[in-house]
Structure 1
């Protein structure tokens, strides 16, 4: 296997990377086609479902009117748009000001372009760790997720995943300033930007320890040794300063917005938590989610849903343990672990958990590696069947309860 230190050149959009993006675009086109047909049959607008419902409405309202809007519900809960991080609305406002696009249309364009950037970033990371064939399948697996239609919505998941994936790629290849800057931007996109910050910090600390102890930190490609997550260049003053600066930059986005919200609300550093509490969002270690699952076993029909939820959580945990067992590079393990923990252990609306898990793409790498070892025909047939199922489910989902 080639050490990452010899593979730090930015990936070019050709060969396997181009195939991965073409495959990704085909899956997303299938999903959009299914949505358009299903919506037309129900006299609904697919475009409206993608751009002007649920969270996308809150983002476009921030882009158009700024912060300060809130809704008081009959039960006393207060839904404030301060809960939504600013990078996506900023981009929507910029595109609206410089193009004929509406705010909603700008959000859709950002999502489409960001989803392609995210797919390329997923490929770049998987290719770096496991090779181009696994990179191709990692992208396709990310595309065919049951809630993959969200990648084409005016939501922030695609934008966040793109920033996270390329920040991880940068840290894996020793581009510290790039990684720190992208982590800063990820922190301005979603609260889970903390996962990218944690990955950058873990990599920085581990690199410092490694250079101090001269002990290599390696991963594994299946049964084989995989590359170190940091280039094997000699430590010097400039590299130390770049790493330190990256670690300083990484948390500034999330910390800056949270502190600004606290100042605006007059509640100090914990003001953002109060805003989230108005949405009944918080971190309770998974207690509310556990009670939600337990409540499903009060009757036979809902018990089946409870069994499905337990199986889904078990699958996610199992995939993470496989990632650990295969010794993925530390930044990937830290990032995926934090995203998974925040998604599963938050007290937010439980139907949103699959969407919140979507950025945790390193969890897909063991499956991508397994598909890469199969014959191409078999892998393509399996993914094709899943893609059709995902497209149908996405169309059904958006025309129903949708992504809260």
Structure 2
């Protein structure tokens, strides 16, 4: 006797199951468009929540913490320009000259000044708004990058956004610091390189050169990629333009400081005299690592050493994974500048934030895992970043 199959037919107009409705909402084009921004904001909000809890524990003010250390210099330059910075701001040796403020690049404070010019916008609000908007632009740049690299995808781009927003010192992305603005410009410059949109790559690189000295690594990556494109594509005019424009911002500001100080290496001289910061090939970093590993004095210092070790390991992973070589060159450049400087050791974890291309292989690996595994790893990274960032700017009493 034949078996009768019973087919359940949903009545016309019946509501869809919740799971199906959620799946459809997740595939909606508006959801897909907003996902990078929502994820970035959610991760950084978790960091701010942890910061609020830590400020209560240490009797500090959230706004004061978010504008501390270098933030005060950026706010001072935004308010009065280089010539009228609060005289109470001094260098690492409690000294102050007319050239001391020149240690800080003008791009970020210039944006803050423009936003501050809007009616009813205080300078602190303008600084934090510039960092927030820059972070969102960076999120979309990283998502585009994660989608365009070899083996990349829409999901890989989203994972890359979360990993970046949850990097150990990502707290600076919501502070009155220049990292968020620089990272946004660097991300879109590298998108231009990967997509061979050389004018975009060069213009964003030039703008990044006005924001942070880390742009030197970006200039090397963009110019090298442009040269290769010119050679292999038989004189690609746009690659020529991108390669020529890329270093203009960085060279322009260094040239300006040279004229102001009367020294060809004026900016480097300001760094040496005011902060005893110079490139020593990594000798100071090596000594610091040995001392900390032999006798750990604080959570931040010990964690900083291991972050540097992890960054070196990620470079090897990028090479093994076959990540596009300009992205590797950029990451190696950022890491070399960080490891090779004898500057403030407490800042080395923060200076790794722009090395976001090191996270690309991690993102590509996570999307190949089970969703539950990927979510667990990302949630753990978010929790650690929230705690560590809050600790670094509240419990830790020195500059970051």
Pairwise TM-score range, normalised by the shorter structure: 0.7 to 0.9
Which of the residues 21, 35, 45 maps onto 1:19?
35
Match for residue 252 of structure 2?
Answer: 256
Alpha-carbon spacing, 1:256–1:292, altered in 2? closer, same or farther (3 Å): same
Alpha-carbon spacing, 1:141–1:249, altered in 2? closer, same or farther (3 Å): same
| Mapped partners of 1:310, 1:120: distance in 2 | 30
Alpha-carbon spacing, 1:166–1:22, altered in 2? closer, same or farther (3 Å): same
| Mapped partners of 1:48, 1:190: distance in 2 | 23
Deviations 1:47-94 (A, max 9, x none): 22112x100100011111211457366587878110100011111111
Q: In structure 1, the residue corresponding to 2:349 is in which secondary structure? A: helix
Match for residue 3 of structure 2?
Answer: none
Tell me which of the two structures has the higher relative contact order, counting C-alpha pairs closer than 8 angstroms and 6 or more residues apart: 1
TM-score calculated relative to the size of structure 2: 0.85
Matched, 1:199 2:194: no
Matched, 1:50 2:66: yes
Which of the residues 117, 140, 145 maps onto 2:137?
117
| Mapped partners of 2:328, 2:29: distance in 1 | 26
Match for residue 339 of structure 2?
Answer: 344
Match for residue 67 of structure 1?
Answer: 82
Alpha-carbon spacing, 1:90–1:74, altered in 2? closer, same or farther (3 Å): closer
Deviations 1:265-304 (A, max 9, x none): 111x2111101112111111111111122233564x4499
Match for residue 377 of structure 2?
Answer: 382
Matched, 1:283 2:302: no
Once the 2 structures are TM-superposed, how far is the Cα of residue 166 of structure 1 from its aligned partner? Answer: 0.4
Structure 1 outlier segments of 4+, above 6 Å: 75-79, 303-307
Alpha-carbon spacing, 1:243–1:101, altered in 2? closer, same or farther (3 Å): same
| Mapped partners of 1:243, 1:251: distance in 2 | 13
Equivalenced residues, count: 364
The aligned runs of 1:324-343 (5 Å cut-off) are: 324-343=319-338
Q: In structure 1, the residue corresponding to 2:90 is in which secondary structure? A: strand
Native 8 Å contact 2:304 2:348 kept in 1: no
Match for residue 217 of structure 1?
Answer: none
| Mapped partners of 1:110, 1:308: distance in 2 | 29
Q: In structure 2, the residue corresponding to 1:98 is in which secondary structure? A: coil
Q: Is there any run of 5+ residues in structure 1 with no aligned partner, and where?
A: 1-11, 213-234
Match for residue 167 of structure 2?
Answer: 145
The aligned runs of 1:75-90 (5 Å cut-off) are: 80-90=100-110
| Mapped partners of 2:196, 2:232: distance in 1 | 14
Alpha-carbon spacing, 1:142–1:305, altered in 2? closer, same or farther (3 Å): closer
Native 8 Å contact 2:230 2:240 kept in 1: no
Once the 2 structures are TM-superposed, how far is the Cα of residue 161 of structure 1 from its aligned partner? Answer: 0.3
Q: In structure 2, the residue corresponding to 1:92 is in which secondary structure? A: helix
Aligned Cα RMSD in Å? 2.4
Match for residue 92 of structure 1?
Answer: 112
Q: In structure 1, the residue corresponding to 2:78 is in which secondary structure? A: helix
| Mapped partners of 1:293, 1:162: distance in 2 | 30
Larger radius of gyration: 2
